[in-house]
Amino acid sequence: MSTFALPATLLRRAARSLSALAAVVASVLAFLALVVLTDGAGSGLAAWLPVLAAGTALARWRSRSRSRSRGRAARLVPFLPVVVAAALTAPVCVPTVPTARQYPPDLPFVATERWSLDTGSSVAVYHYPPAGPGPRHPVPLVYLNGGPVRGISLLDHRFLQLLAGQGYDVYAYEQPGGGRSGLLPMDQYTADRSVRDLGAFVDRLGAGAVDVLGFSSGAVVLTRALADPGTAARVHRAVIAEPGPMDGPTARIAGHRGRESARGLALDPTGPRSTHVPRYAVAFGLMRLGLLSPGTGLIGQAEGDNAFTAADLGGDTASAYCARDAHRIPAEDSARNFSFSPAASLRVQRTVRDSASIAPQLGRSGTPAMLMIAECSSQVRQWATAVLAADPAIQRTQFMPGVGHHMWNGLDGNNDRAAAVIGAFLQDQPAPLPNSPTREGIPAFLRDHE
């Protein structure tokens, strides 16, 4: 063999290897493109089968064009990229968790009731009757948790127990799709449906107007309920704690945030992640990018709920705590109780983002309300101040020092402080903290957080 033959042979082999690699990459990209174009139809098979068929046809053509003198083995080489690409993409089409909803087991410390609402929703309900030596408060208190479409965490259950121990008759329910509540068709997960469910829940309770504590996305539901006269009539007093954006115009605000949170400083949650499995990494990733609809045919709603874990939230949990608490973030939930519906959550958030301004309707609200804002909030400040500016019935604002978005977090007496602020308002007693920011003080408040 000449001195030039060996390099030439190596170059040809390298070229063939690069060609094979390019064919694999092209097939995978074509598969992902078809998943997007078909919205994941048939669990991804509507994308996988055409790519496999096209790759096989191309490999046959290339095999036939090869000289018969190369032998049978050489003619099979063009099929290798097809086999590799099929092996890489096939796991995206195969479920690894049950496709029927697997609900968390009932909690050992509180009964789980299941109520059918007039809206057609089936919700899991938790009741903490008033306890403790103090006086009983006559108006029931309903809690709307955050998420959206997330189960009530054990951390929140402990806070509800604290409120009940102070004499409040506490009710909480998990919104449809979250926790132990029943699922809805994907197109029925809307912010307006959540408002109607709140009204139907109060009617089912049958105790007249109730006090409502809404946290995070639950505060969004409460705010939108106050803008709806029919639902607002069912609310005696409203506590709006750390609200998300109340409508489309507010959602598009890119404003100031609170003091530094623990995001990027604390270790991410440990445990299994669904996003380490190709099927769910592709599904959740493309949904988050808006390339797949929440009702995608790639994974069903129930399967997605079963697959999603607390570890999938990554740094979102740390963003609810102050930077100084990065080394001691409490366990908010257990793996057995944790429940989150990523698809339904995205669907609800999109209906808020796509909605018109509710400020004119909220401006006619007459329900006494209080706004709570955390010092280290991960929320955009204007999400809260937009509510304050629009709702004339907000009687006080309590800026909570030393806490992040999750204000009742079990650290340093934060639960007691939050309960004191909430209790003072519900009982129409003097506020434990200064009324800040006021409506007039919104510009100065935002300047302080630039």
pLDDT on residue 315: 85
Q: What is the mean pLDDT of residues 411-430?
A: 97
DSSP code string of 104-138: PPPPSSS--EEEE-TTS-EEEEEEE---SSSPPPS
Query: How does the average pLDDT of the chain come out, rounded?
Result: 92
The model's confidence at residue 9, banded by pLDDT at 50, 70 and 90, is: low
pLDDT on residue 6: 46
Res 11 pLDDT > 80 = no
Res 95 pLDDT > 50 = yes
pLDDT on residue 404: 96
User: Over the Cα atoms of the chain, what is R_g?
Assistant: 27
- How far apart (Å, rounded) are the C-alpha atoms in residues 45 and 245? 38
- Collapsed DSSP state (helix, strand, coil) of residue 402: strand
pLDDT on residue 59: 83
pLDDT on residue 178: 97
pLDDT on residue 378: 87
pLDDT on residue 314: 85
- How far apart (Å, rounded) are the C-alpha atoms in residues 365 and 372? 18
Q: What is the mean pLDDT of residues 27-50?
A: 96
Between 75-89, 157-171, 423-437, the lowest mean confidence (pLDDT) is in 75-89
Q: Going by DSSP bridges, is the β-strand pair 210-215/235-241 parallel, antiparallel, or unpaired?
A: parallel
Give Cβ neighbours of residue 54 (< 8 Å, ≥ 6 apart).
Answer: 30
Higher pLDDT, 447 or 7: 447
- How far apart (Å, rounded) are the C-alpha atoms in residues 413 and 92? 46
- How far apart (Å, rounded) are the C-alpha atoms in residues 52 and 163? 59
What are the tokens at 154?
A: 């054990």
pLDDT on residue 16: 55
Q: What is the pLDDT of residues 335-380, one digit of tens each?
A: 999 999 999 999 999 999 999 999 999 999 999 999 999 999 989 9
The model's confidence at residue 4, banded by pLDDT at 50, 70 and 90, is: very low
With beta carbons less than 8 A apart as the criterion, state whether 81 and 55 touch. Answer: yes
Specify the pTM: 0.92
Res 10 pLDDT > 50 = no
Contacts 24+ apart (CB under 8 A), 123-126: 123/173, 123/174, 123/175, 123/176, 123/181, 123/182, 123/197, 123/201, 124/173, 124/174, 124/179, 124/180, 124/181, 125/171, 125/172, 125/173, 126/152, 126/157, 126/160, 126/171, 126/172, 126/173
Res 90 pLDDT > 50 = yes
pLDDT on residue 66: 57
With beta carbons less than 8 A apart as the criterion, state whether 103 and 180 touch. Answer: yes
Higher pLDDT, 126 or 56: 126
pLDDT on residue 77: 76
pLDDT on residue 447: 85
Q: What is the mean pLDDT of residues 156-162?
A: 98
The model's confidence at residue 73, banded by pLDDT at 50, 70 and 90, is: low
Q: Going by DSSP bridges, is the β-strand pair 113-116/170-174 parallel, antiparallel, or unpaired?
A: unpaired
User: What percent of the chain shows pLDDT beyond 70?
Assistant: 93
Q: What is the mean pLDDT of residues 144-153?
A: 96
* 265 burial type by CB count under 10 A (0-12 exposed, 13-18 middle, 19+ buried): middle
With beta carbons less than 8 A apart as the criterion, state whether 227 and 355 touch. Answer: no
Phi/psi at 218 (5° precision): -65, -30
Phi/psi at 446 (5° precision): -70, -35
- How far apart (Å, rounded) are the C-alpha atoms in residues 279 and 292? 13
- Collapsed DSSP state (helix, strand, coil) of residue 279: helix
The model's confidence at residue 448, banded by pLDDT at 50, 70 and 90, is: confident
Mutual orientation of helices 154-165 and 414-426 as an angle, nearest 10°?
A: 50
Between 34-43, 160-169, 305-314, 441-450, the lowest mean confidence (pLDDT) is in 441-450
What are the tokens at 73?
A: 């083995």
Phi/psi at 302 (5° precision): -65, -45
Q: What is the pLDDT of residues 399-408, one digit of tens each?
A: 999 999 999 9
pLDDT on residue 20: 79
pLDDT on residue 21: 87
pLDDT on residue 198: 98
pLDDT on residue 65: 67
- How far apart (Å, rounded) are the C-alpha atoms in residues 237 and 214? 11
What are the tokens at 51?
A: 């790519």
DSSP state of 244: -
